[in-house]
Amino acid sequence: MSLNPRISAGVLVCISLASVDEILRADMLWTYVTGLGLFAFFLLEWPRLAKTAKALVVFAILLGAVMIFLNKMTPYILAKAVSRAGFLTFFMVSLALLQNAADSSLMVRRCGKAIVHQPPGRRYFMLAVGASFFSAFLSIGTISLLGTMVKNGIDSARDTTEDQVSEIRLQRMTVAILRGFCTIVFWSPVTLTLAIVLTALPELSWIEIQPYGFIITICFLFIGWLLDRSAYPRSKLSPVVPKGAPLTVLYPLFGLMVLIFALAALLANILTINLISALLITIPFISLGWVYVQYWRGDWGDATLRSLSRAYNGFLPALPNMRSEISIFAASAFIGLLVPPLIDVDALGGFIVEFGLGKGWILTLSFWIIIMVAMIGINPIISVTIALDLLPRLPQIDIAPLSIAIMAITAWSIIVGFSPLSAAVRIAGRVVDRDIVDIGFRWNGQYSLIVTALFSVALLVFT
């Protein structure tokens, strides 16, 4: 733990406020503040950073030095890279507030229990859809919440259930949660993926991506359900519970989601900013209000004091616990924007034209490269950022930004549920006490390969 967590937390808050002001006024002064803030945060938290985070930060600094030496660094490139790193830090802080509010919500836990306690006929579907829905509030915490409920429920019934049946149930329910979680990138604007894509391709909006994202979400969920049903016909397993829990408890949570999006859309319209930025500005206020409601017992003064006390004594000191995640995201974003200027786009475009590769093949190869490099530990923040920068600039090749965005989002979704290095797979393994290679490759490998192959065909056919 930090020697003084509030100092590091204060730095993160300053970076977030600088990012907000930069969004609203596009003032370069705040880019300098962001850069100094990130440097201060890395220094403060360096002894406690994970090795991967340290390696990425060092590599980002060295890459910057190389660019300066090669005379490739310009004030614009540096400012853009620092701004993107600060924006992702603000993204993490904003969503941490929402997750903090959701973690203590009885409404969320009631909804989670209702989703888990469904009869076999609809359990997979409800877990997958529920995980996707919950992820808008809990982000990766969804896997911990639903996974823990699943593990506890199965363990409590082991005395009356065969071990093989218990293991099958654990596998089915775990992959349902994981696959559902992976689809959030297609529809929810409060994801790191869409934040990166829409920031890199400002000519696109969330509304333009949404119809295609919705179709892919339905297709991916259906493929997962079909594989589950074909592998485990209903007659092989007896139901865990005799009757499904009522789903009416989900209505308030759905209403809260509508409220968040409606307020963000209103703010985006008033301030003429994009929806992602408006959401990140709106979420902290919604989160504080949600905590206030949880403490409300008829005395507004007491609820206010308890809410503020929780923010100051609970949330802020815990904020630096995300030190490694913030460092990885910020450094990866920085690296992703420094690499493209080192690549000769004209030569790359000429090479592609010489081999006669069409748009479909270019997108398909990019799709597979992003997935394959993730298997060797290269964060998709880096590979996707590079792809989003290079593909629109290829000479003599006019690839629609929407096609690039859909390709990048889908690659990211598959990586999250397949790679043993993915945070989602690692958390799932820890929660259900199973090897991460088993979860990523053995349990979810067939599904991942099928959707990868089908999407590759779709890229070749439709672009």
Please report, for the chain, the start and end positions of each structural domain, with discontinuous segments joined by +.
Answer: 102-319
Report whether 420 contacts 373 (CB < 8 A).
Answer: no
User: Which residues touch 297 (CB under 8 Å, ≥6 apart)?
Assistant: 303
d(Cα 439, Cα 65) in Å, to the nearest integer? 40
pLDDT of residue 87 exceeding 90:
yes
Mean predicted confidence (pLDDT) in 429-441: 89
- Helices 120-138 and 141-156: crossing angle in degrees, nearest 10, is 150
How far CA 340 is from CA of 31, 108, 392, in Å, comes to 21, 42, 12
The pLDDT of residue 46 is 95
241 pLDDT band, cuts 50/70/90, is very low
Residue 300, burial from CB neighbour count under 10 angstroms (0-12, 13-18, 19+) = exposed
The pLDDT of residue 2 is 47
Could you tell me the maximum CA-CA distance found in the chain, to the nearest angstrom?
A: 73
Sequence length of the chain is 463
The pLDDT of residue 314 is 86
The pLDDT of residue 245 is 67
User: Which residues touch 328 (CB under 8 Å, ≥6 apart)?
Assistant: 50, 52, 53, 56, 379, 381
Mean predicted confidence (pLDDT) in 130-157: 82
User: Could you give the angle at the alpha carbon of 391 between the alpha carbons of 390 and 393, nearest 5°?
Assistant: 70
d(Cα 136, Cα 184) in Å, to the nearest integer? 7
> In this predicted structure, which of 95-109, 213-227, 254-268, 404-418 has the lowest mean pLDDT?
95-109
Q: Is 139 left (phi over 0), alpha (psi -120 to 50) or beta?
A: left
Q: Which of 92, 71, 16, 79 is nearest to 334 (CA)?
A: 79
330 pLDDT band, cuts 50/70/90, is very high
99-116 confidence digits (pLDDT tens): 888 888 888 888 888 887
The pLDDT of residue 10 is 94
Mean predicted confidence (pLDDT) in 215-226: 95
281-293 confidence digits (pLDDT tens): 999 999 999 999 9
User: Could you give the angle at the alpha carbon of 270 between the alpha carbons of 268 and 275, nearest 5°?
Assistant: 5
Mean predicted confidence (pLDDT) in 119-129: 84
145 pLDDT band, cuts 50/70/90, is confident
d(Cα 365, Cα 370) in Å, to the nearest integer? 9
How far CA 333 is from CA of 38, 175, 281, 377, 388, in Å, comes to 13, 29, 20, 15, 12
The pLDDT of residue 208 is 94
The model's pTM is: 0.86
d(Cα 166, Cα 192) in Å, to the nearest integer? 35
240 pLDDT band, cuts 50/70/90, is very low
Q: Which two tokens stand for residue 380?
A: 């998709």
Residue found by looking up tokens 């504080």 in the block: 288
The pLDDT of residue 159 is 72
Comparing 125 with 140, the larger pLDDT belongs to 125
pLDDT of residue 168 exceeding 70:
yes
Report whether 387 contacts 401 (CB < 8 A).
Answer: no
d(Cα 436, Cα 439) in Å, to the nearest integer? 5
Q: Which of 67, 64, 46, 68 is nearest to 55 (CA)?
A: 46
The pLDDT of residue 380 is 93
d(Cα 154, Cα 127) in Å, to the nearest integer? 15
120 pLDDT band, cuts 50/70/90, is confident
